[in-house]
Structure formats: C-alpha cells, structure tokens
Amino acid sequence: MAAILDAQGLHKSFGAVTAADGISAAIERDSVVGLIGTNGAGKTTFINMITGYLKPDRGRIHYEGRDITELAPRDITRLGICRSFQIPQLYASLTAFENMMVGVGVVLRNAGLGGFFSRGRPLVPGHSVPPEDAAERILERFGLAEYRNKNAQVLPGGVRKLLDIALTMVAKPRILLLDEPTSGVSAEEKFAIMEMIMKAVRAEGATVLFVEHDMEVVSRFAGRVLAFYDGRIIADGPPGTVLNDPEVKRFVVGGELHRLDEAQGRARA
C-alpha cells in the first residue's frame, strides 16, 4: 500500500536534550496508528515536526510524495494535515457553534470563497452545504449539539476535548494527528470519545495518528503501534506484537504500569 506520509531520519535536539534521534516511519493511507511511549519519549516532538511547529535538524518529511519539511503550520494544515491538542485549543470567548464557524470560515477563505466580493451563501468545500449547516453537522456528529450556544470556556473537560477534535475535522483532513485525545477524561468516557472519533473518521476517510497512554485504548483502536523511547522508535507493528515486545514492556508499558503502581501505592498510603 502507498504511504501517505513518510518521515525519514528525523533528528531534533534542544541544547543537550535529544528529543528525536533518527525517527523514520512510513504511514499507510487510511491506517490508524497509535503512538505510545513515556513522557519525553518523542511522540509529541514527532507530531510537532509533522505539523511544522518544529523544524527537524536533520531528516525529511514527505506527504503524498511532496516534501513538507520546511512548510509553516498553516500551509501544512491547508494540505490536509490537521492536529488536535493535548490541552484543547479553543476560542474561549466564543460559543461552540461560533468556534465551528471560525473553522468553516477559514475553509471557505482558503478555497477563495466567502471573500468581501462574494455573493450569496457559498457551499463549504468538502461538506457541500452552506456554512451554518456544515458547522451544525459536525457538532452533531460529535454529540455537541446541546452545547451549541455555550461559551467554550465554560464547557466540561471531556466536551472541550471533543470540540477541539471537531474543530480539526472542519477542514476535512486527510491526516488527523490527535495528541492524547483521551487524556484528562474519565475512563468510561475514553472509549466513547474514541468511538466517536473513529466513526467520524471512517465516514470521512482519513489517516489517523494518535498519541495514547492507555494501552487498552491503543490495542482496541490502533491497527499499528509505534513505540517511542528516548527519541527513537523501538518497536513498530500490530498492537498484539508491539505491546508484547520485551523492550516495549520494559521501557514503555512497564514504565506506565510502574507509574500506575506508584500512583495506587500513594493513594493507598
């Protein structure tokens, strides 16, 4: 299968700290890839390099055969690579609906529609409906219709998370990068959120990379797992193989379990 995204030998260091030490991965079209690893292993650095927020010191990134290594975040977004954030990045003073309308407006503008001299109500590219309808539809798809007129800053954590992801879906991404989509969300909500994302993604047809700490979520939703450790990918394959890899068990999953034990120990004490 053809790779939609191909990262080759990405290096990135901040002073003495090496955040990425030769990361290479080819991502196949329409695949769902889970990125795992302890904090500081390089997962978010990897995502930041793909989206253009960080420029790698060495290495190239190709998207559909095109070199995007030097492009700015907004240009990469315009090509169809969209990201969500670990801490939701919303327009706090605007309602959920207005948040979506900002996104819809940007899509219109980038398509050369909705300018000062345009007349009538244009159809949103990729959605084939007028702007307001496109915004409503995405809100509905993510179960956010009831929060339509609430300001983003007063929404509960899980809802903010969903709104953040819904915002990334407005531009009809070809590649969706989700940075810890279920962090800060209760265990019961995690699966519901992932189900909703996957349903939306299946309907739109996008490739997904998601950072996740919950191995249950990873094994359930990812078709392929990249395990990060110390700025490198130490294992790459189907979840069953990667999660049982001795190195991964020791450095990644073990690390997680160890921390979990610690936390429980503290709670008991």
Partner 1 sequence: MRRDRTPLALGAIFLAIVAAGPFLPPWLLFILTLAVARGLVALGLMLLLRAGLVSFGQALYFCIGAYTAGGLGIRFGVSDVLLQALAGAAVAALVAWVLGFLLARYRGIFFGLLSLALSMILYGVIVKSEALGSTDGLNVLPSTLFGVKPHEGWVRYSVLVAASGAALIAALLVHRYLATPLGRLAAAIKDNEIRVEYMGASARHAIHVKYVIAATLAGMGGALAATTVGHIDPDMAYWTTSGEFIFVTILAGTGSVIAPFLGALIFGAIHTVAYDLSPNTWQMSLGAALLALILFLPDGVWSLFARRKAA
Q: Which residues bind partner 1 (CB under 8 A)?
A: 51, 72-75, 77-78, 82-83, 89-94, 98, 101-110, 114-116, 167, 170-171
SS (H, E, C) 195-226: HHHHHHHHHHCCEEEEECCCHHHHHHHCCEEE
| Pick 13 or 95: Cβ nearer partner 1 | 95
State the residue for tokens 């899980």: 158
| Pick 80 or 239: Cβ nearer partner 1 | 80
| Pick 117 or 246: Cβ nearer partner 1 | 117
Name the minimum Å distance from CB 184 to partner 1: 18
Name the minimum Å distance from CB 259 to partner 1: 29
| Pick 38 or 48: Cβ nearer partner 1 | 48
Name the minimum Å distance from CB 178 to partner 1: 13
Name the minimum Å distance from CB 80 to partner 1: 9
User: How many angstroms separate the CA atoms of 25 and 228, rounded?
Assistant: 12
Name the minimum Å distance from CB 161 to partner 1: 14
| Pick 82 or 193: Cβ nearer partner 1 | 82
